[in-house]
A = this chain, B = another copy of it.
Amino acid sequence: MQKVDLKEKFTLFTEQWRPKIVGELNGQYVKIAKLQGEFVWHLHEDEDELFFVVHGQLTIKLKDRDIDLSEGQFFIVPRGVEHLPVAHSECHVMLFEPKTVRNTGNVQNERTVEHSERI
């Protein structure tokens, strides 16, 4: 039972696209990640996923439109919906999702992180 300071947590790592666990509740994880560039199109069959922008800007591309997010905005990607996160400059996000989520969803490639680190 410790409070979590997001800004402090973001100083603890530099890697991009590797979400870190910063909290756990009700079978869900709170994670944070640094994102830059383009990820990979994927979907999560059984999990909804929340992206909250803490710093910078993030575009979540969907098949039919783009969702442009700035600091203080969030978007929930419903289960089964293909999406592609894109950040032109480094963006800091907080994620809220079930513990079972794999970052690349139905895709497995070099960006897949099977077990997120807890910081």
Residues of chain A touching chain B, judged by Cβ–Cβ distance below 8 Å, are 1, 3-7, 23-26, 28, 30, 47-50, 54, 62, 67-69, 72-76, 78, 81, 96-98
Interface of A is mostly: strand
Residues of B within 8 A of A54 (CB): 72
The contact of A72 among B6, B47, B69, B75, by CB within 8 Å, is: B6
B4, B62, B67: which contacts A74 (Cβ < 8 A)? B4
**Are A30 and B6 interface neighbours, CB within 8 A?**
no
The residue in chain B whose Cβ has the minimal distance to the Cβ of A7 is B72
- Given A23-B50, A25-B50, A25-B76, 4 extra CB contacts under 8 A: A1-B78, A3-B69, A3-B75, A30-B76
